[in-house]
Amino acid sequence: MTSSLRHFAGLGCFPAPASAGAGVSGATCLLRRYTPDFCAFAALRPIRPAAAFSAANPLASPAEHEQRQHRQQAVPCHDGDPSAPARSPLPSPPPPSPAPLRVGIVGFGNFGQFIAGGIQRQGHAVLAASRSDYSDYCAGRGIRFFTSVDALCEEQPDVLLICSSILSTEAVVRAIPFHKLRPDTIVADVLSVKQFPRNLLLEILPLGFGIVCTHPMFGPESGKNGWGKLPFVYDKVRVAEHGDQAIKCEQFLSIFEHEGCRMVEMSCAEHDRYAAGSQFVTHTIGRVLSQLNLKTTPINTKGYESLLQLTHNTVSDSFDLYYGLFMYNINATEQASTLARLHMMHHSYPYQIIVEYVHDIC
C-alpha cells in the first residue's frame, strides 16, 4: 500500500507521505476520500516524464514527445460529474414486427381465390367460406375452408373480406354473425361499386368495427401475370387512428402495395363517378361487340385486335357483375341516359344497338 501511495505521489496527484506511518495514515484518508471513484484508479498508470522519453529516443522531436505524453495520460471517468459531457444514448431496439394477418374471405369464387393468392404471397393466413364446396381446392393450398360463415367467424379473423357478387352482397352481409367477431375487426370489400357497400356496412356493422372499401381495378384475367402497376382503389371509411386496428389496416393495404399495385386513395363517391365513365362503358361496349360474334381474321389490324381482346375480357366476367355495375351505381344509369340521348339525336345504328342492349338488361 505504501508503495502504491508513493506511486500516486509521483504522479503529482496527491501529497507525498512524510514517512511509512504517515503513508498508512494517508492511505486510509486517501481510500476513504477517493475509493468511490473507481474509474480514477482504473485509469491511472505510470507515466514517464518527458525527459525519460527524450533519453529513450533522443532523435524524437519535441512535438512527438508531446503527442506521446498526451496519448498516455489517464482518461478521467465522468460518472456522477454533472459538468462532464453527456454520453450518447444507446440506440433503442426496433419495434417488433406485427404478427401476420388472418384474413377471412366470404365468397370464395374465382375472384376470391385470385385475391387469396396475393394475401398468401405476402405471408398472411387465409380462411375461406363459401356456398360452394372448395375444400379440396383449399386443402392443396394451405387455406382453411369452412362450410359456413358462422364457423369462420368463430375463428375471429383480423380482417373479414367480402368477395361476394354485387347482387348477393346485402344478403351475405346481413347474415354475418358479427357478435362472434372481435369488436375491432376490420371488414373490407372488393366490390366493383363502392357507395353501395359503404352505406350498407355503415348501416349494419357495430360501431367498433373498422370499414375499408376497396376495389382492385383488375381481375384474374388482367392480373394473371402479376399486379405490378395495376390500380388499387381504397377508402378508409371508418378506421381507428391508433392502436391495433390502425396497424391491421396498414398491414392489409400493404398486401396490395407490396404486390406492386398503384395505390389510389379515393372516396367511394368519387370512385363511382369515375367507374361509370370507364368500367361500365367498357363492359357495355364489350358485351355489345360479343353480340356481333366477331372473329379473328388473317389480316387483323391493331384496332381490331383491341376490340377482340376487349370482348374476351368483358364476357369472361359474369353477367351478374355487369348487371351490378349498372343497377348499383347511380352514375351508370346516367351514362345509359346519355347513350339514349345520343341515339335520339343521331339515330345511328351503333347507338341503337347499345341502347337496346342496355334496355334489355333493365
Instruction: Choose one of 233, 266, 299: the last residue of a domain.
Output: 266
pLDDT digits (tens, 9 = 90+) for 279-307: 777 888 888 888 888 899 999 999 999 99
**Residue found under cell 352481409:** 173
> Considering the domain boundaries, does residue 31 fall inside one?
no
Neighbours of 231 (CB within 10 A): 15
Instruction: Choose one of 202, 236, 266: the last residue of a domain.
Output: 266
Q: What is the CATH number of the domain that holds 152?
A: 3.40.50.720
> Considering the domain boundaries, does residue 10 fall inside one?
no
278 and 298 housed in the same domain: yes
312 and 197 housed in the same domain: no
Which among 134, 128, 200 has a CA at the least distance from the CA of 159?
Answer: 128
> Considering the domain boundaries, does residue 325 fall inside one?
yes
| Cα separation, 283 vs 323, whole angstroms | 10
What pLDDT was estimated at residue 162?
98
> Considering the domain boundaries, does residue 315 fall inside one?
yes
pLDDT digits (tens, 9 = 90+) for 89-121: 777 777 788 899 999 999 999 999 999 999 999
With 50 as the cut, is the pLDDT of residue 27 above it? no
132 and 183 housed in the same domain: yes
- The parent domain of residue 342 ranges over 272-361
| Cα separation, 269 vs 297, whole angstroms | 42
pLDDT digits (tens, 9 = 90+) for 65-93: 566 665 555 455 555 555 656 666 777 77
> Considering the domain boundaries, does residue 288 fall inside one?
yes
Number of domains in the chain: 2
> Considering the domain boundaries, does residue 13 fall inside one?
no
Instruction: Choose one of 266, 300, 324: the last residue of a domain.
Output: 266
124 and 234 housed in the same domain: yes
Cβ-contact 5, 26 below 8 angstroms: yes
Average pLDDT, rounded, for the chain: 80
Question: What does R_g of the chain's alpha carbons equal in angstroms?
Answer: 39
